[in-house]
Amino acid sequence: MIPVIAIYDIGKTNKKVFLFNEDYEIVYEKSTNLTEIQDDDGDMCEDVQALTNWVKQSFEEIQQLKEFDIVAVNVTAYGASLVHIDEKGKPVAPLYNYLKPYPEDLQKAFYEKYGGVVKVSQHTASPVLGSLNSGMLLYNISKSKPEVFKKIKYSLHLPQYISSLLNGMFSSDITSIGCHTMLWDFTTMQYHEWVTKEGIADKLAPIQSADDAIDIAIQKGTVKMGIGLHDSSAALIPYLLNFKEPFILLSTGTWAISLNPFNDTPLTEEQLKQDCLCYLTYKKQPVKASRLFAGYEHEQQVKLLATHFNKPANYYTTVKFDNSIIDRLTNDQSGFNLSDGQITAFPSRDINLFSNYEHAYHQLIADIIYKQVISTKLVLEGSREVKRIFVDGGFGKNPVYMHLLADAFPNIEVYAASVAQATSMGTALSIHEHWNTKELPASIIDLMYYHSNK
């Protein structure tokens, strides 16, 4: 039987369970999609009962697999989401969606009471995001649904709730608490004063270390289990374990998120206004992050380009980097006043001025890179000298983007990086010493270097 660790990776859309062998190769996976339901206010939310049933059922199934010996289990899940449970661990409220509208009057009164938006945001390293600040969602329940609040023994972040289904333990984890929750005071490295004053601290389970593991009993005997990690922090772990010199991880999807684990300077008011925040690693180290809605911008604009030039929707994947096109482009952004919601200058450009798709596409990426540099520089300020930028996700596979990013940072090495199932792998790596008899693998990250032409 092959010794394996089981990792539950709970995304907003896909719920997965992986088995990794000791070389961190995926040897089994199973996934499901669950239909959302309405909460008690009529807003859409995760079906916590269906999720609970799937986790328990799939855990029974993987224990029956004859070729694998499960020696450890851990969990990662999306953040900003709390499951409110009673003393027996049963949910007493819906798993409210982090996109749920937040009462403006309650939000206004809260910040006035605790010293204003800027002060609270700087201390908690959290921009004001309404229900996406999970501590504020719990505060809302305490004020607007007091009868529900009374029933709550603990409000667990989603990774710890999933973990509790398998280990029967109730705990809090610093990677979830530290991610734009408004709960954690980064200046004192403890809960913010409001958390105690408002009775919220009583509803939070004891903090446990995310790199610890406890013994739990399953059918075959005893296995090691972690308490679970927030997905963004988990995805950083393979890089933190492989690279000791300062780097930035530019994680690209719908958002392009610049993560700098080597910058512990406090967030400024200006950085907060520009959508910066801080995460905490599983080792309790701050990670300064900035966000740009670049993947979304790219998705919208390539649809328009495809229509205008009569090309297939995914034609951009065939476009090769051409330096001669770049030389003919204008990088002048001064003539554009970006309207509300506009991310780059590209939507304001006259598409008829481009002779072909390739020319227009290079301009689109140049405009995205212009804004990306501004965003990434926000987390470079006050940092130890960064030697490398690693780009994972969609833009890492885009040669036009990668060449232009390398040109934009000529003094920093720029790499396209990929880790198979980075979030799940990071979650397994976080408790490596508790289950794996082998050394940490040296080659779990695939890198491609992009040389600057400047």
Residues 189 and 329 in one domain: no
What would the mean pLDDT of 153-163 be, rounded to a whole number?
98
What amino acid is encoded at 297 in this protein? E
For 142-146, 266-270, 338-342, which range has the lowest pLDDT when averaged over its residues? 338-342
Which residues neighbour 111 within 8 Å (Cβ) at sequence distance 6 or greater?
Answer: 117, 120, 128
Alpha carbons 68 and 453: distance in angstroms, whole number: 50
> Which of the two residues, 307 and 254, has the higher pLDDT score?
307
Residue 220 is predicted with a pLDDT of 80
Question: What pLDDT is attached to residue 329?
Answer: 85
Average pLDDT, whole number, for the chain? 94
User: Which of 258, 256, 263, 124 has the alpha carbon at shortest distance from 192?
Assistant: 124
Q: Which range, of 302-306, 341-345, 361-365, averages the lowest pLDDT?
A: 341-345
What pLDDT digit, counting tens, does each position of 255-277 carry? 899 999 999 888 998 999 888 99
User: Do 261 and 143 lie in a common domain?
Assistant: no
**Side-chain half-sphere exposure of 379, counting CA atoms within 13 A:** 31
pLDDT tens digits, one per residue of 285-319: 999 999 999 999 999 999 999 999 999 999 999 99
Nearest one of 390, 351, 430 to 72, comparing CA atoms: 430
Per-residue pLDDT band at 336 (split at 50, 70, 90): low
Give me the pLDDT at residue 181, please. Answer: 96
Average pLDDT, integer, range 193-198: 98
Task: Name residues whose C-beta falls within 8 Å of residue 170's C-beta, 6 or more positions apart in sequence.
Answer: 85, 89, 153, 154, 156, 160, 164, 205, 206
DSSP 52-94: HHHHHHHHHHHHT-TTEEEEEEEEEE-SS-EEEE-TTS-B-S-
Interval 353-367 mean pLDDT: 96
Confidence of residue 350 (pLDDT cuts 50, 70, 90): very high
Domain carrying residue 97: 2-227
Categorize the per-residue pLDDT at 328 as very low, low, confident or very high, splitting at 50, 70 and 90: confident
For range 173-188, the mean pLDDT: 95
Whole-number Å distance between alpha carbons of 376 and 373: 5
Average pLDDT on 9-25 reads 95
Residues 275 and 359: their CA atoms lie apart, in Å, by 31
pLDDT at 335: 59
Q: Are residues 144 and 63 in the same domain?
A: yes
> What are φ and ψ of residue 223, in 5° steps?
-130, 165
pLDDT band at residue 253 under the 50/70/90 scheme: confident
| Residues 414 and 268 placed together within one structural domain of the fold | yes
CATH number (domain holding residue 117): 3.30.420.40
Of the three residues 206, 227, 248, the one that is the final residue of a domain is 227
Instruction: Give yes or no: residues 162 and 275 share one domain.
Output: no
Contact (CB, 8 A) for 369 and 405:
yes
Copy the structure tokens of residue 17.
């369970």
Q: How confident is the model at residue 454 (pLDDT cuts 50, 70, 90)?
A: confident
For a pLDDT cut of 90, what percent of the chain falls above it?
A: 88
* Residues 222 and 234 occupy one common structural domain: no
Domain end marker among 171, 206, 227 = 227
The pLDDT tens digits of the residues spanning 390-441 come to 999 899 999 999 999 999 999 999 999 999 899 999 999 999 999 999 999 8
Q: What is the pLDDT of residue 258?
A: 96
**Partner residues linked to 45 by β-bridges:** 37
pLDDT at residue 90 tops 70: yes
Number of domains in the chain: 2
Give the whole-angstrom CA distance, residue 255 versus residue 297.
9
Cα–Cα dist 137/182, whole Å: 10
170 and 246 inside one domain: no
> What's the pLDDT at 255?
87
Does residue 352 share a domain with residue 281?
yes
* Distance set, CA 215 to CA 7, 169, 286, 430 (Å): 16, 11, 29, 16
Hey, which bits of 347-435 come out as E strands? Answer: 388-393, 413-418
Kindly tell me if the per-residue pLDDT of 334 is higher than 70.
Answer: no
Do 194 and 319 sit in the same domain of this protein? no
Quick one: pLDDT at residue 240? Answer: 94
Q: How confident is the model at residue 222 (pLDDT cuts 50, 70, 90)?
A: very high
For residues 361 and 400, the answer to whether their CB atoms sit within 8 Å is yes
Please tell me whether residues 376 and 415 are part of one structural domain: yes
The model's confidence at residue 63, banded by pLDDT at 50, 70 and 90, is very high
Give the residue from 139, 134, 90 showing the smallest Cα distance to 110: 139
Q: Same domain for 267 and 162?
A: no
What is the DSSP track for 178-215?
A: TSS-S-EETTTTEE-HHHHHTT-GGGSPPEE-TT--EE
- Alpha-carbon gap, residue 263 to 272, rounded angstroms: 15
- Rg for the chain, CA atoms, rounded: 23
Last residue of a domain, one of 169, 201, 227: 227
Q: How confident is the model at residue 219 (pLDDT cuts 50, 70, 90)?
A: confident
Would you state the pLDDT for residue 399? 97
Q: Has residue 192 got a pLDDT over 90?
A: yes
Rounded Cα–Cα distance for residues 402 and 407 (Å): 9
Nearest to 24 by CA among 40, 46, 2: 2
What integer pLDDT is reported at residue 342 of this predicted model? 85
Do residues 286 and 143 share a domain? no
Residue 349's CB is within 10 A of a number of other CB atoms, namely: 18
Q: How confident is the model at residue 340 (pLDDT cuts 50, 70, 90)?
A: low
Amino acid (one-letter) located at 38: Q
pLDDT at position 147: 97
pLDDT exceeds 90 at position 170: yes
